[in-house]
Amino acid sequence: MKHFKKSIEIKCSVERAFDFHKDTNNLKLITPPGISVKILSIELPLKLGSEIVLNVTQFGLIRNKWHIKLTEFVENKLITDTQIKGPFALWKHKHIFEDKGETTLMTDEIEFKLPFGILGDIAYSVFVARLIRNQFEYRQRVTKQILESRSQ
């Protein structure tokens, strides 16, 4: 099992940060270049148990259908998406929001397992760890820029 955790402090209310992540239209805004995400189906409004099916294309070549379910949903605090079917053997991604008064601490915490046993472990060492780190650094940086540039 692999783990990834990254936090960023954003100068906005916890409600704004949470609402931004609840709005699936913002997914395209925070997706790094080289990755295309298309929502194939979604249950709105997002709530506990909502399911989302995505088509994710990386580098214009690698396509994956990704079916996730919101397994935890606590308004202004937590959204957890868990893979039902997709490219990972296991994927559980927690979006954690902490009210710090004038700011919000937003944390992405991911527990995952790659498929293909030892080949998956090699892929993790060679490029997957860097790919995940870069993707979430980008997402957090862009989220911060968007939320801090919009009027409070």
Q: Please give the order of strands across the beta sheet that includes 35-42.
A: 2-10, 104-113, 90-99, 78-85, 62-74, 51-58, 35-42
| DSSP conformation class of 14 | H
pLDDT at site 150: 73
Q: Is the pLDDT of residue 140 over 90?
A: yes
Buried b (16+ CB within 10 A) or exposed e, 35-74: eeeeeeeeeeebeeebebbbebebeeeeeeebebebeebe
Mean pLDDT score of the chain: 94
Alpha-carbon span 22 to 1, nearest angstrom: 27
CATH number at residue 137: 3.30.530.20
If one counts the domains in the chain, the total is 1
pLDDT at site 136: 97
Task: Write out pLDDT tens, residues 30-88.
Answer: 999 999 999 999 999 999 999 999 999 987 678 899 999 999 999 999 999 999 999 99
Q: Which domain holds residue 140?
A: 2-149
The average pLDDT across 103-120 equals 95
The average pLDDT across 8-32 equals 96
Q: Residue 89, exposed/middle/buried by CB under 10 A (0-12, 13-18, 19+)?
A: middle
Question: In this predicted structure, which of 41-55, 89-103, 114-128 has the lowest mean pLDDT?
Answer: 114-128
Q: Predicted confidence band at 123 (pLDDT cuts at 50, 70, 90)?
A: confident
